Each structure stands twice: as C-alpha cells, then as structure tokens.
Amino acid sequence: GVFIMINIIGLGYIGLPTALMFAKSGLKVVGTDYNANLIDSLKEGKLTFEENGLEDLFKEARSNGIEFKTEYQKAHTYIIAVPTPYLKDSKKLDPKYVISALNNVLDVCEKGASLIIESTVSPGTIDKYIRPEIEKRGFIVGKDVHLLHAPERIIPGNMIYELENNSRTIGADNSEIGEKVRGLYSNFCKAEIVVTDIRSAEMSKVVENTYRDINIAFANELAKICRTDNMDVYEIIRIANMHPRVNILQPGPGVGGHCISVDPWFLVGDYPDLTNLILTARKTNDSMPRHVLGRIRDIMREHDIKDISKVGLYGLAYKENVDDIRESPTLQLLERMDEHLAYGVKVYDPYVKERIVDHQFMNFEDFLNEVEIIVIMVGHDHIKNKMSLIKDKLILDTKNICLLEGSYKL
Ligand SMILES: NC(=O)c1ccc[n+]([C@@H]2O[C@H](COP(=O)([O-])OP(=O)(O)OC[C@H]3O[C@@H](n4cnc5c(N)ncnc54)[C@H](O)[C@@H]3O)[C@@H](O)[C@H]2O)c1
C-alpha cells in the first residue's frame, strides 16, 4: 500500500488538531480512532467539536489528503493521544486506554517505528506499564521500536495558535531519536522544542498543571477568607499584584477540564506522604462549587426566594468561549445540588448545543424569562456582550466580569 508517514491514534481534543497540523505541513497523515461514528463524521467533512480556526485547518488538511480510519495503519511514526483518566479511589493514573492503543499499534507497526505517547501520564508510567508491555510482545525497545513521550500544552479555545507557538518537550531514551522526533514536530511547531529523558518529560508536564492548580487554589482561598470578613478580594489581589514579585491569579467557581483538575491527583496517588500542599490545593479547588452554592443560598435568603428553580446557572463549559464541559465547575455544582436533593435549578450555555443536564435551556431569552437569580459560572464573551439583558436580575458573578451595580461576587 501507500507509505504512511504518521498514524495518529485517538482523534479527540488533542489528537485531531495535531493530526491536522501535520497534514497541513505536508506530511502524509492517517488519523485512527476506534469510535466509528467519529470517523464517519470526519470523513464527511464534519468536525466533532468547536475550536477557533479548526474549520479552516480541517479544510487545508483535507485538501492535503489526510485520511481517517478505524483501523491502525502500517507506519513509521505513531502518535498516541488517547484518554488518561485517574482511578477515582486510588487517585492513580489508569493506563488502560494507552495500553490498549499501544497493543493495537504493535499488531501492525513496522520495524524501526517510533511510538510517541502524547497522552499525559504520571511520572514513571512509561517505564512501569508501557515499556514492559512492548517487551512482552517480543519487541526490543531502542531496536525494533523507539519509545518517546511528547506531552501537549495547548489550551482549548486557542489550540491552533498554541500548537504553532508553544514550546514543547520530547522525552526520549537517547538524543539521536529525540532529535529526529524534534525535527518531526518542527514541521508545524515554531517554538523551542526541548529534548530530555522520558521521566523528566512525564514529570514536567504533570508539574506544570499542578503549579496552575496550586496558584488557582491560593486565589480561591483568598476569596473565601475575604468573603468571611467582607473584604474585596479583587481589589486586594489588584493591589498585591503591583508588588514586582507578586502575581496572584483570579478566583473562580472551581477548576474543571481534563488537565489541571486531573493531573495533580497523579502525584497525590503516587506520593501520598509527600503531597500535602498539592492535595490541599486540589481539595480547595474542589470545594469552590460548594462555596458558590453557599453564596446562592445567601442571596436567596436575603431576597426571600425559596424556589431553587428561580436560579439559573449561566455556563456549562469549564472555561470561557469553548464547548468542553468535562469536569466543569457547573457540573460539579449540579452534582452537589443533587446530593442535597435540590432539583430544578436552570442551566444555559450558548456553546453547548446538546441537552446534557436537566432543566437546560437552548435559548437565552427563554432562560432569562424563567429565572430571578443568574449565576455567572463561565465568562463567555456571549454574556459579556449581553449584560444589559440581565440588569434587572439578581446576579451572582463568580468570574468578576459584571460591572452592574449590586451584583454579588464570590
Ligand atoms: N484536552 C486538553 O486540553 C488536553 C491538553 C493537554 C493534554 N491532554 C491529554 O491528551 C490526552 C488526550 O486527551 P483528549 O482531551 O484529546 O481526549 P479525548 O477524549 O477528547 O479524545 C481521545 C480519543 O481517543 C479515542 N480512543 C481511546 N482509546 C482508543 C484506542 N485504543 N484506539 C483508538 N482510539 C482511541 C477516543 O475515541 C477519543 O476520540 C489525555 O492524556 C489528556 O490528558 C489533553
């Protein structure tokens, strides 16, 4: 058959844009996913999620001949970008998707192939689970196949720009193969690409997200302290940040998404005796939806509103201007309410076009007509541009984007 340069396994938020970038840069690319519906829709030219600039990139990649298949291909380079969740009880990484994708690849790969794990993994995963799996199959790593780790840093909403402009890390067993893969990524990545060992690549990725989590937790803890004694956390952070060596982040309703709220657990799971700060930060951020719930209760009491169905949550996504709802603070909040048998709260998100939760509205005006309290959970541009429409409501603004007088804050 045709010689295939790169076979990308897993065409989700990370795998798809990466595949398209490689194809755009002129390489022969086949994207493989075991989800047949997803492959069908990509073949028909339909994208499976929304992202700035993705439509244009998709067109270019298609005109460059990118293919989508459910079958794994004979290739010299594989990029594995499948999910890496954590086990809810032990908090350790669950490598089952990576291992199953790896085995499918080993069934077809050519001698000398490079297997690049792009999925985020906890430090040591590649040596503990991936390498032995390859050896079990009779392959010698470094001879029959090369094993690498190339973690991803892109943020939904700005993925295309960041794929080209973020620096990246390549973890490899030796610098020769590391340099080769650096060359490969530099087909689209214009920023610095660092080559290091696999363990350092694994650890630095998890450390980056843990750093973010801890810094967000600090801002959230300040918000709680300030609320207790009626201090303005935003004013305090603004002033503190004028100090030349202080840069406090903004508080919010919690942390969602598939990186920051997940990766620190890998360290907690693997080093339970050494992760006090990291665990506390995780718990602090996870406590924010409950804090928001407390604020909703405050406002309901103050205005003698007894009916929870008069409350509307604006935003289901985990961050502004995207449709990704995974682990989002709003979903966490709804779960909390569920535990307290508080049903009926209304929900609206302009980016989420499918009905995902109960009492979800598809039309902003209908949503507004039904509620007295609006809780801004996500700072979508959509609501920033529609503040005049909500000026007669009670507003709980967890993102500090609303300038309307009398709006409640975190
Ligand atoms: N989403 C992000 O912003 C982001 C950022 C950096 C890193 N990451 C990491 O990248 C990895 C992928 O995340 P994602 O958000 O793209 O996940 P995703 O759930 O959007 O996509 C994963 C895809 O892999 C497919 N898949 C799973 N197992 C497969 C198999 N054995 N063979 C073929 N296809 C398979 C699924 O059908 C799915 O389409 C994760 O490790 C994640 O932690 C994600």
Which residue has the CA at smallest separation from atom 13 of ligand 1? 83
Residues 6 or more apart whose CB falls under 8 angstroms from that of 180 comprise 114
C-alpha 98 to ligand 1 mean position (Å): 10
Q: Is residue 189 annotated as part of the catalytic site, yes or no?
A: no
Boundaries of every domain in the chain: 4-196, 287-409
- CATH match of 4-196 with 3.40.30.10: no
What's residue 408's pLDDT? Answer: 97
Distance CA 280, CA 47 (A): 39
Q: Identify the helix (H) or strand (E) that includes residue 348.
A: strand 346-348
Which residue has the CA at smallest separation from atom 18 of ligand 1? 12
Q: Is residue 205 annotated as part of the catalytic site, yes or no?
A: yes
Question: Tens digit of pLDDT for each residue in 328-348?
Answer: 999 999 999 988 888 899 999
Residue of 259, 319, 402, 409 marked active site: 259
- Order of strands, edge to edge, in the sheet holding 311-314? 360-361, 346-348, 311-314, 373-376, 394-397, 408-409
- Order of strands, edge to edge, in the sheet holding 193-196? 67-69, 29-32, 4-9, 75-80, 113-117, 145-149, 168-172, 193-196
Residue of 91, 205, 399, 409 marked active site: 205
The amino acid at residue 204 is S
Atom of ligand 1 nearest to the CA of 100: 31
CATH T-level assignment (fold) for domain 287-409: Rossmann fold (3.40.50)
| Ligand 1 contact via 152 beta carbon (within 6 Å) | yes
What's residue 110's pLDDT? Answer: 86
Q: Which residues pair with 395 in a beta bridge?
A: 374
| Ligand 1 contact via 12 beta carbon (within 6 Å) | yes
| Ligand 1 contact via 82 beta carbon (within 6 Å) | yes
Assess contact for 361 and 284: CB atoms under 8 A: no
Write out residues in the chain with pLDDT < 50, as ranges.
1
Domains 4-196 and 287-409 alike in fold: yes
C-alpha 73 to ligand 1 mean position (Å): 18
